[in-house]
Chains A and B, each alone.
Chain A
Amino acid sequence: EAQVTQNPRYLITVTGKKLTVTCSQNMNHEYMSWYRQDPGLGLRQIYYSMNVEVTDKGDVPEGYKVSRKEKRNFPLILESPSPNQTSLYFCASSLLGTGDTDTQYFGPGTRLTVL
């Protein structure tokens, strides 16, 4: 089944304790992206990647890191989480092309709470 998976789905942690949220897709998509969703602010892009070893900042990259060593995986790293990073995080992927290939497929989300 074509899908984007994220782990963990739920995480409660404390300020300053490094964590990684994994994202994996099995559709051979070049493009992958991370978003966070907050009440009243909608979804905002954190980082994106056009292909292996090609990553760049989105709208709200501060406090986050990413890596793209393999095509299928795009982990999101919080080196020193803070309470303002409490949010619902989504990973998404798509082909790179034109027209309908812009459709982005989303993972199930990771609800992160930083105390």
Chain B
Amino acid sequence: SQQGEEDPQALSIQEGENATMNCSYKTSINNLQWYRQNSGRGLVHLILIRSNEREKHSGRLRVTLDTSKKSSSLLITASRAADTASYFCATVGYTGRRALTFGSGTRLQVQP
């Protein structure tokens, strides 16, 4: 079953603007990860944030995690046309099988 819900489902911005995507989840997590998927292709890992971390940066990406609200956000600064893709949050719980439970994704369109 899907753990997370991303918000918004779709986002269209101009190149150079910032894009913010939010993710909510339901159960306790070990960590939360963000992935990017270009139209029907493979998933590319972007960033992982552990449950005891509140914020993490990687290049133009900034991720926050609020475990009390069971939510996370992904900020992409100075977006580029190449950032056009679907973005998914995925959580890993404390069960042994380490399954990633994915949200429904946000489709980001960056207009040149």
Asked if B1 and A59 sit within 8 Å, CB to CB, the answer is yes
Q: Does A104 contact B (CB under 8 A)?
A: yes
Q: Mark B19-44, 1 if CB is under 8 A from A, else 0.
A: 00000000000110101000011111
Instruction: Please report the C-alpha to C-alpha distance between residue A50 and residue B99 in the assembled complex, in whole angstroms.
Output: 11
Give the contacting residue for B43; candidates A45, A96, A106; CB below 8 A: A106
Q: Are B48 and A94 in contact (CB under 8 A)?
A: no
Q: Report chain B residues within 8 Å CB of A58.
A: 97, 99
Contact B31 A102 (CB under 8 A): yes
Spot the interface stretch: A63-71, A77-85, A107-115.
A107-115
Q: How far is the CB of A25 from chain B (nearest CB, A)?
A: 13
Closest residue on chain B to residue A35 by CB atoms: B100
Interface size of B in residues (CB-CB distance below 8 Å): 26
A107 to B83, CA, bound (A): 20
- Contact across chains for A102 and B33 when beta carbons are under 8 A apart: yes
A-binding residues in B (CB < 8 A)? 1-2, 30-31, 33, 35, 40-45, 48, 50, 88, 90, 92, 96-100, 102-105
On whether the beta carbons of A33 and B99 are closer than 8 Å, the reply is: yes
Query: B-facing mask of A92-110, CB < 8 A → 1, else 0?
Result: 1010100110111111110
Bound-state Cα–Cα, A92 to B40, Å: 16
Interface SS, A side: strand
Q: B33 near A45 (CB under 8 angstroms)?
A: no
What are 13 A-B residue pairs whose CB atoms fall within 8 Å in the complex? Answer: A35-B100, A40-B104, A43-B43, A58-B97, A90-B42, A90-B43, A94-B98, A104-B45, A106-B42, A106-B44, A107-B42, A108-B42, A109-B41
Are A45 and B31 touching (Cβ within 8 A)?
no
Among B35, B41, B43, B88: residue with most chain A CB under 10 A: B43
Q: Is A53 interfacial (CB 8 A cutoff)?
A: no
CA distance A42 to B5 in the complex (A): 11
